[in-house]
Structure 1
């Protein structure tokens, strides 16, 4: 179901983004440049390969190590290098937004560069819809919205966005990213709530959206301890989303990093619940990052509609 452009789209994240570069990967780690900050982090997808440019790794300004994703640490401590660190994300034309680097005890930094291709797609789809109805901003629902990359991509293109995440710290970081991007006054609703519960309430309220974006984790917990399991809960969530867009979305995007869920599986989830009756199947593919030498690092999967 993938076109040639779908298969190669993710590679561009490493080639036309001045503030980001995947320098090298291998031996279970990846070396990335975010602006002036060169970071060395674990990467399960790189476990089988070897590092190609060993000398480059010595220039990293910080390294993350940990036996598990929740008990690691940065060396040196983030306060010595990450204060006010931020990068610009180019969406095409004069559209862009800014993301802060926010190192966490789990080794994340609040930026997911493999999503650049999707952020650009969101901005393009949103802008197209906004141009057709300038007095009625597209209503976009962003679920598992984390630090707000997709929210900002939609907002900068003219959408009214509802940003939902169960983590209050993540939502606060997303608000800070909106301020960095000059979007503090954009029509964004910031919601700290369990995603399933929020969508159930929205259905009961009769709310409607033009588009939905979601990046569900494999496992997770809501603010009140609600358990999320992708295999069990994603079909339920997608049925709720289908109702919220009247089974006729202007666009719909899902991404996933769950082992065993490939492009075909994610596309089937989306087709079965939301767009299977629309006459055209979703497009789907893999998210990639590329080094300057062309080596590709798989970084998840996506499915989106329309193609």
Structure 2
């Protein structure tokens, strides 16, 4: 299955190919590496009008080459949400626009649950700058708990909360190792109707804890089962790990969540962005989801 984020106005993947993508963020054109874009790019005029180009280094990492004046930060909006974006030193801009399709899915589930008088508490793990956090809060979740090991990313998420005018919603920001936090929530007896996670391939917690996706994803999903409410709406896993199949996520969810919540449904597939130039899809990662309803987008 494919989930395509095709509702953007402030973002556009204009073209892609030869290992790069050409993107419009509001009125700024960026050229960034993309290992999935192995086909030949076109002669789209935007390639020659870019504001900035990220070059990878043979020694690892990379740097931006600025062709035109680019503000240090600016904002883009998605429907009722507004986010800060910035060309960071590690290629990213602080937002993964393909995830908007998952935001829409979660928002629809939250709004339906609230209309039916159900409580909705959401846990966002590896929450980064909080795109999903703001989407869930905006949809009316009673509480959203945002957990990330990086103080800088949590601060960025707080800025996005202010930009989206969500200061009056109940959002808790936690800087912590996700496994340790989930274990504490179990001891406290806290449960959530929705849990989402975007685990990295490799990472470190705030106290040097090591995370490796292939070694710990099963442990994390099983730990989350202990705090997934009996009246749960969803559990969503995203992954950008190269070579990690969506079928792996499907199998993990079938052997964990579906066994504990057999009346639900499991979906898995790719997340992508439409490429304007040739009406193609740029693959941007994979997802696996357990849902209380057969509501795949």
More helix by share: 1
The aligned residue for residue 205 of structure 1 is: 188
* Partner of residue 264, structure 1: 247
**1:172 maps to what in 2?**
155
**Range with greater deviation from structure 2 (197-206 or 269-278):** 269-278
Residues 227 and 128 of structure 1, relative CA distance in 2, 3 Å threshold: same
Residues of 1 paired with 2:46 and 2:263: CA distance? Answer: 49
In 2: Cα distance, 1:229 partner to 1:99 partner:
29
- Residues 236-292 of structure 1: CA distance to partner in whole angstroms, max 9, x if unpaired? 111111010146521111111112322211111122222234134411111111112
Map of 1:88 onto structure 2: 77
- 1:43 is aligned, of 34, 39, 61, to 34
> For the aligned residues, what is the CA RMSD?
1.9
- 1:24–1:53: 8 Å Cα contact kept in structure 2? no
Deviations 1:99-147 (CA, angstroms, capped at 9, x unpaired)? 111221110001111111101001111111122227x4x1000000001
Task: Output aligned runs, 1:84-163, within 5 Å.
Answer: 84-90=73-79, 96-133=80-117, 136=119, 138-159=120-141, 160-163=143-146
User: In 2, distance between residues paired with 1:69 and 1:295?
Assistant: 32
Query: How far apart, in 2, do the equivalents of 1:246 and 1:133 lie?
Result: 16
Q: Which residue of 2 aligns with 1:240?
A: 223
Give the deviation of 1:305 after TM superposition: 2.2
Match of 1:286 among 261, 270, 273: 270
Structure 1 unaligned residues grouped into runs of 5+: 91-95
25, 43, 50: which one pairs with 1:34? 25
Partner residue in 2 for 1:93: none
- The answer to whether the 8 Å contact 2:83/2:163 transfers is yes
* 8 Å contact kept, 1:82–1:103: no
**Secondary structure class of the residue paired with 2:200:** coil
Contact 1:82/1:101 (8 A) holds in 2: no
- Which stretch of structure 1 is more off in the superposition, 268-277 or 215-224? 268-277
Structure 2: tracts of 5 or more residues without a match: none
